[in-house]
Amino acid sequence: MTEPALTRARILDAAQDALRRHGLAKANVVDVARALGVSHGSVYRFFPSKAALREAVTARFLHAIMAELDAIQTTPAPARLHDWFAALAAAKRERFRQDPELFDAYLTLAAESRAVVEAHVAAMTDAVESILRAGIAEGSIRDLPPRETAAALLAATAMFHNPAHARSWHDPSRPAAFETLWSLLLPGLTP
């Protein structure tokens, strides 16, 4: 029986498992290679450094969240915005709830990978801006500057999705607090 081919995805899976098992401080490329049954040099052929591997793990984590949000197609735009922000908060809260140690590792990795985080924030801003533009075109969103409004909405809702606030996400009143905030934001968005 032949071993499955070594791929970026398999390496990233093994790196995530190493983070979960050993923690961020102790997980290393040798652990990843050992789990895959290859030399650490084989891992370095895909990722030129430990930092590159860590950035890829972080980017994968953030990309998975964005993929969930891209699936939201609710219309009209005000409902889609609501659903998008509620799903963003729920996705991050659920990842934190399921595996707080791994989530903490991702926080540290994100702090090391500013470019990856900046790309994630830009992707979120782009997604919200796109929804706003669609709402302006359909007449369900006021004619506000879309990019600036997207950034303002992300800032206003940060306590529900920014990992800096993760420790408060255990509070069962978080979803209700989001709905209260949304009820305050919505009148400013709609004609």
Considering the domain architecture, whether residues 66 and 25 belong to the same structural domain is answered as no
pLDDT tens across 73-83, in order? 878 999 999 99
**C-alpha separations of 69 from 50, 89, 110, 142 in Å:** 29, 10, 20, 23
**Residue 132 pLDDT greater than 70, yes or no:** yes
Please report which confidence band the pLDDT of residue 1 belongs to, taking 50, 70 and 90 as the band edges: low
Lowest mean pLDDT among 1-5, 60-64, 85-89, 167-171: 1-5
**Residue 185 pLDDT greater than 90, yes or no:** yes
Q: Report, as an integer, the average pLDDT of 56-74.
A: 88
Considering the domain architecture, whether residues 35 and 112 belong to the same structural domain is answered as no
Q: For residue 100, what pLDDT is reported?
A: 83
pLDDT tens across 138-164, in order? 999 999 999 999 999 999 999 999 998
Q: Report, as an integer, the average pLDDT of 118-138.
A: 96
Q: Which of 128, 139, 121 is nearest to 59 (CA)?
A: 121
Considering the domain architecture, whether residues 2 and 66 belong to the same structural domain is answered as no
Considering the domain architecture, whether residues 171 and 134 belong to the same structural domain is answered as yes
Q: Which residues of 98-123 are buried (b: 16+ CB within 10 A; e: fewer)?
A: eeeebbbbbeebbeebeebbeebeeb
pLDDT tens across 91-103, in order? 999 988 888 878 8
**Residue 137 pLDDT greater than 90, yes or no:** yes
Considering the domain architecture, whether residues 87 and 171 belong to the same structural domain is answered as yes
Considering the domain architecture, whether residues 88 and 129 belong to the same structural domain is answered as yes
Considering the domain architecture, whether residues 94 and 152 belong to the same structural domain is answered as yes
Domain that holds residue 62: 55-189
Secondary-structure percent of the chain, ordered helix, strand, coil, rounded to 5: 80, 0, 20
Please report which confidence band the pLDDT of residue 51 belongs to, taking 50, 70 and 90 as the band edges: confident
Give the integer Cα–Cα distance in Å for 118 and 160: 18
What CATH number corresponds to the domain at position 117?
1.10.357.10
Average pLDDT, the chain: 91
What CATH number corresponds to the domain at position 34?
1.10.10.60
What single letter denotes the amino acid at residue 124?
A: M
Considering the domain architecture, whether residues 35 and 63 belong to the same structural domain is answered as no
Q: For residue 136, what pLDDT is reported?
A: 97
Considering the domain architecture, whether residues 15 and 83 belong to the same structural domain is answered as no
Considering the domain architecture, whether residues 94 and 34 belong to the same structural domain is answered as no
Considering the domain architecture, whether residues 104 and 70 belong to the same structural domain is answered as yes
Number of domains within the chain? 2
Last residue of a domain, one of 15, 30, 48: 48
Last residue of a domain, one of 11, 26, 48: 48
Considering the domain architecture, whether residues 64 and 142 belong to the same structural domain is answered as yes
